[in-house]
Chain A
Amino acid sequence: MVTYQESSVNDDKVFKALADPTRRTLLDLLFRRDGQTLKELQVEIAMTRFGVMKHLRILADAHLVVSRRSGREKLHFLNPVPIRAIHDRWIDKYSERRLSALAALKNELETKG
């Protein structure tokens, strides 16, 4: 289905964006304090302005970071929505199966006992 393919294109971007330690650090920094400028983020990461910009662009491309203008400043915000989508599609699916298997086992053991 078209929408599924489009969603998986975005999933690819999210996984690729998350595959880099600097980018995960940037997300952690925004998680701790949302709405930071490039300059503020650059101070916390030992990297050139250009390097941080490049990583922010990849995060923005995956919609993990959204930037908004506030007066003369450009603030970067963590967008948790794609991570929620990955969680729902990939993590819930597997943990639910494991949990339901455990629930079934418990049920079987209890009815036998």
Chain B
Amino acid sequence: MPNTTTVQVFRIVIKASARAIWEAITKPEWTERYGYGGRVSYDMATDGRFSHKASAEMKSFGLPDEIIVGKVIESDPPRKLVQTWHPLFDPETTAEPHTRLTYEIAEHQGVCTVTITHDATDAPRVAAMVSGGGDPQQGGGGWPWILSDLKSLLETGQRMSGN
């Protein structure tokens, strides 16, 4: 595991429009198709509620209905989304303070640079979890794995892992 201080940055280049990427991040019909799945809901007003719901499979493993919750801090579609991010699916990370997540999407000539900045100040377990140092099949893929899967889905219409 990287010995992270507080902030981690993850970047990927995706051949898709900024709008398509924004939708894939914020719409439940997209979020259930890549990464660890599950449907998100966003109230894009300032202080609006964010929640990420467990998929049927996650629930069968005993995960709660809402696995991640947060609040929208800033929403500037399709370029920037700042929110808090707090996992509820495991007691050790749930005990840590809420973290701050920023998505930035910059489009040039049909190609987008997607940057995730995750500020997990005083939340070392969350920082370790999202860093992607573990086995993706065991839930340790973190942002690198989720972003790679998102790229694969948007560019080819298919997931990286073929699920």
- Chain A residues with CB under 8 Å of chain B are 1-3, 6, 10, 31-35, 63, 66, 68, 77-81, 83-85, 88
Contact of B28 with A by CB under 8 A: no
CB-CB nearest in chain A for B14 = A3
Stretch at the interface among B4-12, B39-47, B49-57, B75-83: B4-12
Count of A-B residue pairs with CB < 8 Å: 61
A66–B5 CB distance below 8 A? no
Q: Which B67-104 residues have C-beta < 8 A from chain A?
A: none
In the assembly, what is the distance between CA of A88 and CA of B13, in Å? Answer: 16
Contact of B132 with A by CB under 8 A: yes
**Quick one: CB contact mask for B110-125 with A, threshold 8 Å, 1 for yes?**
0000010100000000
For A1, the chain B residues whose CB sits under 8 A away are: 156
In the assembly, what is the distance between CA of A34 and CA of B9, in Å? Answer: 9
For A85, the chain B residues whose CB sits under 8 A away are: 148
For A32, the chain B residues whose CB sits under 8 A away are: 2-3
Q: Assuming A81-B147, A84-B145, what are 8 further A-B pairs, CB within 8 angstroms?
A: A3-B15, A31-B3, A63-B12, A63-B13, A77-B9, A81-B10, A81-B11, A83-B144
A68–B156 CB distance below 8 A? no
Closest chain B CB from A38 CB (angstroms): 16
Closest chain A CB from B142 CB (angstroms): 8
Contact of B11 among A35, A79, A83 (CB under 8 A): A79
Closest chain A CB from B69 CB (angstroms): 25
For A3, the chain B residues whose CB sits under 8 A away are: 15, 155-156
For B148, the chain A residues whose CB sits under 8 A away are: 81, 84-85, 88
In the assembly, what is the distance between CA of A33 and CA of B7, in Å? Answer: 10
The 8 closest A-B CB pairs, nearest first, are A84-B144, A77-B9, A3-B155, A81-B144, A66-B9, A79-B11, A80-B144, A66-B11
For B115, the chain A residues whose CB sits under 8 A away are: 66
